[in-house]
Amino acid sequence: MRRVAALLALALLARAEGWPFGGEGMLGRRDLFALGPLGLKASDADGPPPDPAGPPQGRRSVQIDPGAGDDYPARLKVELLFPDGPAAQAGLVPGDVLTGVEGARFQDGVADALAKMILRAQAAKGVVTLLVIPAAGGKTRKVRVTIPTRGKEALDPTRGGARDKAVAEALAWLAGKQLESGGFGETLSGENGAVVLTSMAGLAWSGAGCGLSTGPYGENLSRAAAFVCASVKNLSEATAAQKSQGAVLDQCNWGYAHAGLFLGELQAHTPDDAVKEALFFCARRLLETQESSGGWAHGPGGPNPLGYVELNIVTGLALGALGMAKQAGFEIAPQALEKAIAYLKASGSGDGGVGYSTEPGQKGIGNIGRTAAAWLAQECLGLGREAWTKKVGKYVEAHADAMFGGHASLMQHFFLGGVAAQTLGGEARKRYWSVAQRELLLARAPDGSFQPRPWHESLAMQSNSDVSFGEVWTTAAWAAVLLADAGPKDGHRGFPAWTGHLAK
């Protein structure tokens, strides 16, 4: 009876702690490892418990160990269960410890082992057998978790019917999360974040072939476009008082850049006067917020609280948005583009990789996300034949599997690196999916959404930007990656404007 009572108490706890992050509001969100279609999230069973006060605030210095935490812990403690999902139906409860799969204890490469077993189960028998130490006590037992089967096509989830199924479920999930306003709820960066999330969802719907009021999500796309068109003209920027203080937390360039990518792709697909007007507005604002160096910051106004100005992840996105506007007929002064490209070049080490900025300690260190954004922008601007563009493309091809070497938002590097690698195809695509396939499998929840995950930086910082942005961000980003090499032959559209196909 005591064991039954303990299990009931744990079951109630599972319902009380809400999926997907286990807490209310951004500060209560937990950075947990997702186990894909099993429908559970876990922490390191042998690691320190999370600080109940939440992540430390303000500027701080931490020691980051690249690679630590990027594979998944050797033992996983169940923390959250998807309501009525496969793991919950199999009887797993919070506090259970997962030590192995299919009769073998986890060794090195836990993420690989889990992903392989899930892949096989989806393609054939539909059962994953976990080794579990019960939270209520007792010996290790085997728990059979039944997940939906998808046939042999599931063996390659990046192509064909398996890809189409994942995309369809993700797009439907996004539609279900869209607000009456046409946008998505504010998370990180407030209204700028809402514009980013709405633009990402819009990109995904557009990439699937929907236009304004056409296609299965045409109405959703139309509402998203209306939200973004209205919102970009009212993004809050730094005030004169904030600028005078010398530490400005202004995020508007993220909003303008992502809106420009979405609206530009939409304008190329289904031209619309209101969309074009908003796209040109974003282009003008980005030209106005360009720093004298040629790069872009989070927003204008000077150094942010961490003491830096430009960062090239924004520079690449801003140039991409300008390329979209150029394709729609917007005129850009040549010197603005020349300065921006010169800044990107100056930040790198000469091998085509784009550094964080030109500042000491940030220069000369290439990175897949920054470099992919810069390469896509060059292609979008019609500069694909330039020698430097080709060198940048070679860097992307050679480092397409290096997403964990990024910074701040892991999903951003999977997103930008994935779109570029899918566009390049061949070796770049092969390298990317050699790492990304397992992440795709483990991120995909039973409801079709894609969930964020911890990695070495978020574990060291005790803060994960992807968790703060939320599951709309990761779901739209993964859908966009899957659609990046799609086209009419697949029943989709892809991103011909952003990837430069329309500029050639």
46-86 pLDDT per residue, tens: 987 655 445 555 444 455 566 667 889 999 999 999 999 99
Q: Are the C-beta atoms of residues 42 and 132 closer than 8 Å to each other?
A: no
Q: Using the predicted structure, report yes or no on whether residue 477 has a pLDDT greater than 90.
A: yes
The pLDDT value given to residue 56: 54
DSSP per-residue letters across 289-316: H--TTS--BSSSSS--TTS--B-HHHHH
On the question of pLDDT at 127 being above 90, the answer is yes
Nearest one of 222, 182, 191, 180 to 205, comparing CA atoms: 222
pLDDT-derived band at 213 (thresholds 50, 70, 90) equals: confident
Handedness of CA 389, 393, 399, 400 (dihedral sign): positive
220-234 pLDDT per residue, tens: 999 999 999 999 998
Instruction: Give yes or no for residue 215 having a pLDDT over 50.
Output: yes
Phi, psi dihedrals of residue 399, rounded to the nearest 5°? -120, 25
pLDDT over 90 at 434, yes or no: yes
Amino acid of residue 313: I
DSSP secondary structure code for residue 270 in this structure: S
Structure confidence at residue 60 (pLDDT)? 47
Instruction: Identify the pLDDT of residue 240.
Output: 46
Residue, of 98 and 406, whose pLDDT is higher: 98
* Yes or no: domain 2-48+68-150 corresponds to CATH 2.30.42.10: yes
Q: By three-state DSSP, how is residue 463 classified?
A: coil
Confidence class of residue 1 from pLDDT cuts 50, 70 and 90? very low
CA-closest candidate to residue 90, choices 369, 82, 263: 82
Residue indicated by tokens 């400005």: 248
| Mean pLDDT score of the chain | 89
CA 32 to chain centre: 16
CA atoms 366, 427, 158, 321: torsion sign: positive
Tell me what percent of the residues of the chain surpass a pLDDT of 70.
89
Distance CA 283, CA 337 (A): 12
Contact 405, 83 (CB under 8 A): no
Each residue of 346-404: pLDDT tens digit?
Answer: 999 889 999 999 999 899 989 999 999 999 999 999 999 999 999 999 999 999 999 99
Place of tokens 């032959």: 489
pLDDT score of 44: 94
Q: What is the pLDDT of residue 488?
A: 80
Q: Which amino acid is at 300?
A: P
What does the pLDDT read at residue 50? 59
Domain with CATH 2.30.42.10 in the chain: 2-48+68-150
pLDDT higher than threshold 60 for residue 246: no
Query: Which pLDDT does position 16 carry in this prediction?
Result: 38
d(CA 43, CA 33): 6
The percentage of residues in the chain with a pLDDT greater than 90, rounded to a whole number, is 74
Select from 385, 365, 376 the least CA-distant residue to 311: 365
CA distance 168 to 190: 28
The answer to which of 247-251, 309-313, 485-489 has the lowest mean pLDDT is 247-251
- Say whether pLDDT at 14 is over 80: no
Kindly give the interhelix angle for 252-269 and 218-231, rounded to the nearest 10 degrees. Answer: 140
Domain at 156-490, CATH class: mainly alpha
The pLDDT of residue 239 is above 90: no
What is the mean pLDDT of the segment spanning 437-466? 95
Query: 88-102, 180-194, 278-292, 421-435 — which is least confidently predicted?
Result: 180-194
What letter would DSSP give residue 50? Answer: P
The pLDDT confidence band at residue 187, using thresholds 50, 70 and 90, is: confident
pLDDT at 57: 52
- Residue 12 pLDDT > 50: no
Whether the per-residue pLDDT at 238 is higher than 70: the answer is no
Q: How confident is the model at residue 302 (pLDDT cuts 50, 70, 90)?
A: confident
Q: How confident is the model at residue 235 (pLDDT cuts 50, 70, 90)?
A: confident
Residue 245, pLDDT score: 57
pLDDT surpassing 60 at residue 448:
yes
DSSP state of 151: -
pLDDT of 321 reads 98
Identify the band that residue 15 occupies on the pLDDT scale cut at 50, 70 and 90.
very low
